[in-house]
Amino acid sequence: MKILGSEITPYKTYLNRRKFIKGSLASALLATVSSSAFANHDNNSSIYNKYLNENDKLNSYEEITTYNNFYEFGTHKKHPHLNSGNFKPRPWTIKIDGLVKKPQTFDLEKILSNVTIEDRVYRLRCVEAWSMVIPWQGFQLSELIKMAEPLSSAKYVQFVTVFRPEEMPGQQKRTIIWPYREGLRMDEAMNPLTILATGLYGHEMPNQNGAPIRLVVPWKYGFKSIKSIVEIRFLDTQPETSWETLAPWEYGFYANVNPNVNHPRWSQGTERRIGEFKRRETLMFNGYEKEVAHLYKDLDLTKFY
Amino acid sequence: MFSTRNFNRSKPVLFILILFPSLLWAYQFVTGNLGVNPIEKLMDELGLMALRLIIITLMITTLSNIKPLKSIVVLRRMIGLFAFYYVCLHFSTYIVLDHFLDMKFIIQDIIKRPFITFGFISFLFLIPLASTSTNNMIKRLGFKLWKKIHYLIYPVAILASMHFYVLVRADKTEPVIYMGIIILLLLHRIFKRLTRPQLAQ
């Protein structure tokens, strides 16, 4: 899939363009009373076509925002869409600590004014054997890591989701140990494919998709792409991650999309692309083999799944 | 009020009530109103309905021990057969819609994935129950043998609830409730057996 290069937009221009898109959306809304609110988000989807390869089609805004795994808002797929209305994604800060030159807390606006927001159209493959194609907007995680100035001893990055049980009803129940935690190896975190996403379909990140800022690691199962991040820690040892802690025999730290490594609950050989009837073959590293396979050349992927 | 006649009279209404969800889901599936992942949704709804009906048949047996409710047992066969109907729909959704009759894959799935193994065995055990459900079969087999065959409902219920329990990723409340009900109903039967006067030494 084409993902890099061409259309890199500075954040300010990006915001302006977003306003423009919103403006045109508003007029579209007025013009076509009959069309649903969801349909309007897809009207400008053609601008993402240049990032798509022939086997992939964008999923609709409705599909992307009503079928989510975000247990902070409940364990059913529709819960995040239904239960995230009270979540307040602004103001937002991200705490940077661990093995860094100077631990500090960044205001999200400050981070955004220092990075380049670009379109990234990625396949997302859930460990439950379904997948989507999503037009994200975001910036490379490596840009934030440079701002954070980690020490050379830092080998891993850990991410922590916000804990606000009063705004996130799923957190009132101990389905998993809150707050949600995820992690990457430093070279995975620095890989140009790895982004922090702040929007999708040209809109601010919807609450149910991990507002205001979330990780997207397209060659790993979806649960690695942690949402609503409030803390990033640099470590010299492999951090604990939520699903691995809960069921280590099912979920590994790496969680690379791999059709050859079986999961006790789901065959990973095929997947259902949301919106399609027949299953399709799952691709090694979710189709990003060229970009990331070199990271794992010395790793036994059946052991480090 | 709880006479055999009244229970028998309620059958047509019950029949329609229990059949209705399957027709509704089929309609929603065909018209594209079953959400973003309709095959998964259809399979989940059918399976859950089947499990609930299996539990209801166990409950009916227990309730029929209460004197005034004795006649409720006349409803058991119909509900049991409906449970089988929903299991068949659930299983064929899995075979046809989910995996497009890819038998090699399906057989591997049944062997390798414990939750599918549980579900599949549960389905197999239901077949003799459904196929011996007629009065004629009870006569042919004799009540004693027929009853023995129908003890299979216990492994069916346990396996079906385990199938659901293992499937759920994190919040296991609902499957635990179903398992709890099944265990209570089984304990009641064991208790009844142990306290039966003719078994006393």
pLDDT tens digits, A219-235: 999 999 999 999 999 99
Q: Left (φ > 0), alpha (ψ -120 to 50) or beta: where does A74 sit?
A: left
Instruction: Give a yes or no: residue A250 inside a domain.
Output: yes
Residue found under tokens 């850990």:
A158
- Per-residue pLDDT for A170 more than 90? yes
Instruction: Give a yes or no: residue A3 inside a domain.
Output: no
Q: What is the pLDDT of residue A28?
A: 44
Structural tokens at position B115: 């939750």
CB atoms near residue A21 (< 10 Å): 17
Check CB contact under 8 Å for B36 and A173: no
Instruction: Give a yes or no: residue A305 inside a domain.
Output: no
DSSP assigned state of B17: H
Give the up-direction half-sphere exposure of residue B72: CA atoms within 13 A in the CB hemisphere. 16
Nearest to B113 among A63, A264, A277 (CB): A264
Q: Above 0.95 for ipTM, yes or no?
A: no
Q: What is the pLDDT of residue A164?
A: 98
- Per-residue pLDDT for B126 more than 90? yes
Instruction: Give a yes or no: residue A302 inside a domain.
Output: no
Query: How is chain B split among helix, strand and coil, in percent rounded to 5?
Result: 85, 0, 15
Interface test with B, best of A177, A268, A274 (most B CBs within 10 A): A274
| Proportion of chain A above pLDDT 90, given as a percent | 74
A294 and B CB contact within 8 Å? no
Number of domains present in the structure of chain A? 1
- Per-residue pLDDT for A33 more than 60? no
What is the extent of the structural domain holding A210?
8-296
Q: What is the pLDDT of residue B60?
A: 96
Contacts 24+ apart (CB under 8 A), A275-281: A275/A57, A275/A59, A275/A60, A275/A63, A275/B36, A277/B39, A278/B100, A279/B98, A279/B99, A279/B100
| pTM, two decimal places | 0.87
Nearest to A67 among B37, B169, B171 (CB): B37
Q: Which residues in chain A (146-185) have CB-CB distances under 8 A to chain B?
A: 173, 175-176
Of the listed ranges A42-51, A173-182, B68-77, B145-154, the one predicted with least confidence? A42-51
Q: How close does chain B come to A275, measured CA to CA in Å? A: 7
The more confidently predicted of residues B17 and A47 is B17
The H helix count followed by the E strand count for chain B is 9, 0
Instruction: Give a yes or no: residue A301 inside a domain.
Output: no
Q: What is the pLDDT of residue A40?
A: 55
Q: How close does chain A come to B148, measured CA to CA in Å? A: 34
Among A38-42, B156-160, B187-191, the range with the most confident prediction by mean pLDDT is: B156-160
A62 and B CB contact within 8 Å? yes
d(CA B120, CA B106): 11
- Per-residue pLDDT for A83 more than 50? yes
By C-alpha distance, the chain B residue nearest A59 is B36
CB atoms near residue B29 (< 10 Å): 18
Instruction: Give a yes or no: residue A121 inside a domain.
Output: yes
Q: What are phi and psi of A119, to 5 degrees?
A: -80, 135
Label residues B60-94 b or e (16+ Cβ within 10 Å = b).
Answer: bbbbbeeeeeeebebbbebbbbbbbbbbbbbbebb
Domain residues of chain B, as ranges? 4-105+112-199
B112 and A CB contact within 8 Å? yes
Among A9-18, A21-30, A259-268, B66-75, the range with the most confident prediction by mean pLDDT is: B66-75
The helix (run of H) or strand (run of E) holding residue A134 is strand A130-140
B77 and A CB contact within 8 Å? no
B40 and A CB contact within 8 Å? yes
Q: How close does chain B come to A264, measured CA to CA in Å? A: 6
Name residue A273's beta-bridge partners: A131
B193 and A CB contact within 8 Å? no
Q: What is the pLDDT of residue A16?
A: 46
Nearest to B114 among A62, A264, A275 (CB): A264
| Proportion of chain A above pLDDT 70, given as a percent | 86
Helix axes B173-194, B153-167, angle to 10 degrees: 160
CATH at residue A240: 3.90.420.10
Q: What is the pLDDT of residue A14?
A: 53
